[in-house]
Amino acid sequence: MDIHEYQAKELLSGFGVPIQRGLVAYTPDQAVYCATELGGWHWAVKAQIHSGARGKAGGIKLCETYHDVHSAAASLFGKRLATTQTGPEGKVVERVYIEVAEKFEREIYLGIVLDRKTERVRVIVSAQGGMEIEEVAHTHPEAILQTIVEPAVGLQPFQARELAFGLGLNIKQVSRAVAAIMGAYRAFRDLDATMVEINPLVVTADDRVIALDAKVTFDDNGLFRHSHVSEMRDASQEDPRESEAAQFGLNYVGLDGDIGCIINGAGLAMATMDTIKYAGGEPANFLDVGGGASPERVAAAFRLVLSDTNVSAILVNIFAGINRCDWVAEGVVQAAKNLRVPLVVRLAGTNVEEGRRIIRESGLPIIAAETLLEAAQKAVEASKAHRASKSK
C-alpha cells in the first residue's frame, strides 16, 4: 500500500525525521488559509498523488504571495498529472500539500528497501539527491553508498555515520543526517514497510538536515497491526480493479496484454504468464484467486478480468490442492454463461475428474486443455481469432 507525501512525513516525523511545516488542502481557498496559518513568505504547493517525479511533471509550484498559492492550487486540482511513474494515463490531483519553502545547499538521496535477494534490509544513500536513483545507478554508480542491515541487531549508528561521512557532510550535518537515517529505519521496521524513500533529504545553510519529500510503501500483510496506517489508504489513487479485488480476497494487477488470467497461486500465475509470452501472447493481468476459490470468488474474478476492455480471451489455470476443481468448475460455468470472449480452462488436482465433467456437460463453448503449454497456446489462438472476427 502506498500513501501520500504528507502522510509519509507525518509518520516519519514521529520517528525523529525532521520535516518542514506543512498542511494539506482540498480547495484553492483552503490552500491560501494553510499558507496564512504556516506563515512565512515562500511556500511550495505540491500535488498529492501516489507517484514520484511530480516536480518534472509540473506538480510542484513555488509561490511568493497568497494569490500565487491560490492560482497554483487551482491549476492543480482536478488535473490528471502524468509522471514517469504513473505512465501516460496519469493520476488525478484531489489534494495539495502546502509547505513552507526555504533555500537549501545540498540534496541527498536516502532509501531503505527490502532486498529480497539477500533477505536483508538495504540502506542506500547518494550525494546526487533530487534525481531518480535508477538514473544515478546507471550513469554514476560510484555515487551510490549502501549498507546491509543485520536483522538480529538492526541498523547500527556506526553504519549510519559511515554513510553520512561518505556523503562528505561536516560534523554538525553528520549528526543530524544520522538522526534522520536512524529515524527512517525505525519507521521502516516498526511500520512493516517495504520501502522508505526520502528524495531529496536537503542540507540547509545553517547545517539542518530536512526531509523535503518522502515516499513510504507498506506490506499489505502487516497492515492489520497498524490501523492508523491502513486508514491512510486513498482508493482514488489505486486501480479500481485492484481495490475491488481486495474486497474479495483476490490479488489482481492489471497489465497491457489481451489474455485475461485467472489462476490460483502466485507462483503458478507467474509461470502461466511466462508461458503465454512463450506461446506468442501477452497477459492482460496477474490474478491469483488464492487457496479458497469458491464459486462466488471465481465469478468475481471473471468480472474483474472482463472489466478490462482489451481482454480478447480468458485462460483459467487451476491446480487444486486446498481448492477443489469441482468448486472452481461451478464458478467457471456460472460466470461463462454470458461470456463475450473465448474461454480456455485447464484443471488439475483435487476432484479434477468431477471438475472436468461439470465443464464438459455445461453445454458452453469452453475450450479444455490438459497441460499449461497447451492451455497457453489455445488461449493465444483463441485471442487472435476473436480479434480477427471483431475486425471484420
Catalytic residue among 5, 6, 97, 109: 109
Q: Where are the alpha helices (DSSP H) in the chain?
A: 5-13, 28-38, 66-76, 133-139, 157-166, 171-190, 227-230, 240-247, 266-278, 295-306, 325-336, 352-360, 372-391
Q: 361 among the known binding-site residues?
A: no
Using an 8 Å Cβ cutoff, are 51 and 91 in contact?
yes
* Closest alpha carbon to 251 in 241, 236, 260, 259: 241
Active site residue 10: no
Q: 107 among the known binding-site residues?
A: yes
Q: 99 among the known binding-site residues?
A: yes
Catalytic residue among 6, 97, 185, 197: 197
Using an 8 Å Cβ cutoff, are 155 and 113 in contact?
no
Please state the φ and ψ torsions of residue 12, each to the nearest 5 degrees.
-65, -35
SS3 263: strand
Q: 102 among the known binding-site residues?
A: yes
Active site residue 109: yes
* Closest alpha carbon to 12 in 230, 179, 220: 179
Cell for 158? Answer: 556506526
Q: 91 among the known binding-site residues?
A: no
Using an 8 Å Cβ cutoff, are 341 and 314 in contact?
yes
Q: 199 among the known binding-site residues?
A: yes
For residues 18 and 180, what is the distance between their CA atoms, to the nearest angstrom? 7
Cell for 96? Answer: 495539495
CA atoms lying within 13 Å on the CB side of residue 350: 10
CA atoms lying within 13 Å on the CB side of residue 186: 15
Q: Which residues neighbour 265 within 8 Å (Cβ) at sequence distance 6 or greater?
A: 288, 291, 319
Q: 310 among the known binding-site residues?
A: no
Annotated binding-site residues read 46, 99, 102, 107, 199, 213, 264
Annotated binding-site residues for ATP read 46, 99, 102, 107
Annotated binding-site residues for Mg(2+) read 199, 213
Active site residues: 109, 197
Annotated binding-site residues for substrate read 264
